Structure 1
Amino acid sequence: MPSPFLLFVNSKPTAVSDEVWKKWYTTEHIPDIVSSRTSTRACLFEEDYTSPISPKEKHERRYLALYQTDFEEALQSSNYQKCATTSEMLAKNGGSKEVFGNGEFDSRYYGLVQTYDPNKLGEAVPPPYILTVEMSPFDEEDFNSWYKEEHLDLLAKVPGYRRTLRFKHTVPNEKMNLTTPPSYLAIHELDSTEHLGGKEIKASMATDWSKKIMEDSTVFVGRVWKLIGSQGAVRRMSLSEGKFLD
């Protein structure tokens, strides 16, 4: 079972290169977060603009770290206080020794509201790709019923679909957030992105109920991400090298 809370951190490097940023995340920061037990599973993703539904305009913050956690406010936990706030790696590659002087971070807290796992995958090897969908519905009860009674069953027909975790934004913190977060986040796990423009996903959005939900939602943000590395409840993996790291 996934942990009850999620720390969502969207970022961009401002003082070091993308390669150094990814290396710091996957070899220093994520292992530190997991070993401190701040997070039970942590993954770093990079936005994938090759999928059929990706926007042409690139977002500035193209990296997404997802931390499953048992803490509603993970960054305020005593576990997190044990984590390093400095990095020699960043300092030696043109950046600041102080971690938060090297990038721009947009951090959000979410609580798990639904796990949809038709294939009973559980916390298996993390997905190579995810589709995140952020929405702020007008009618939350209708919105949740749509997901549970129609939408996820249709999404499950998309080739390569694995499972979905749904979250609701919990703790407002203006100091953490660069933007006002939409109220709901869905993370759709995928084996590939080639069918995201196919007939199955189009059918999932073509129902009368789907059209109503889309019209009523004040915010809709969909982004596709490719896994860079992970650690935690599963073995740590590097897609760039095509092998497990431990």
Structure 2
Amino acid sequence: MGSEVEISGNVEMYLATIATLQIAEQPVPLSQLAEQLSHSPASVNEMCRKLVERGWATYQPYKGVKLTPEGTALARQVLRRRQLWETFLLERLGADANEARAFACYLEHATPDDLAQRLAEYLARPEPVPATPTVDASRCAPQRLSNLISGQHARVTYVTINDEVASEFLCAQGLTPGAELTVLAVSSDGSLLLQTAVRRLTICQELAMQIEVLPFSITNHSAVPR
């Protein structure tokens, strides 16, 4: 069932994060999942409901969420792609560990199975992710731009906007996948003042909620122009 449904980067991150938090197949408390992903409890509840509906997870009241065999298989595919890209960036391009991890978390959501297979062959087939992954998901968990606070830096990983006018606006402002930004201020109504490589701009909370970003520390990246 799940393989026939298009899986967004956000869903993939939830699956991978749950997989990394599960210990001996015990349910993961939703509060722990929310803290790990820096998402609101309401957002976590909604996403877990969708995972259950698709057959990728089960939910036990007062205990938490646990992946089904199908959900575990999908999570391992995501973690496998992350592992391949991190290996490639570290061993072949000489990237530092933090940079490799951040880019691998971005690339894992944009890598089709055939490309992952070719990458594995190029790297002489690194060992696959174990049945119980130990990847630190907290180091590379994408979140909604609307969740960021003033002073945070992030890279755009996914845009869910289907409106053509809004998409053209974001493109003109430099808010496209791969773009880096800095949150300069957050107003009381949730709108954000941003600095991108193109310009400084303000976007409303509704628009920010449809942009997925990967926060990073400025000490490990070039600063976004101001």
TM-score (norm 2): 0.33
TM-score (norm 1): 0.31
Q: Which is bigger in relative contact order (C-alpha 8 A, separation at least 6)?
A: 1
- Bigger fraction of residues in strand: 1
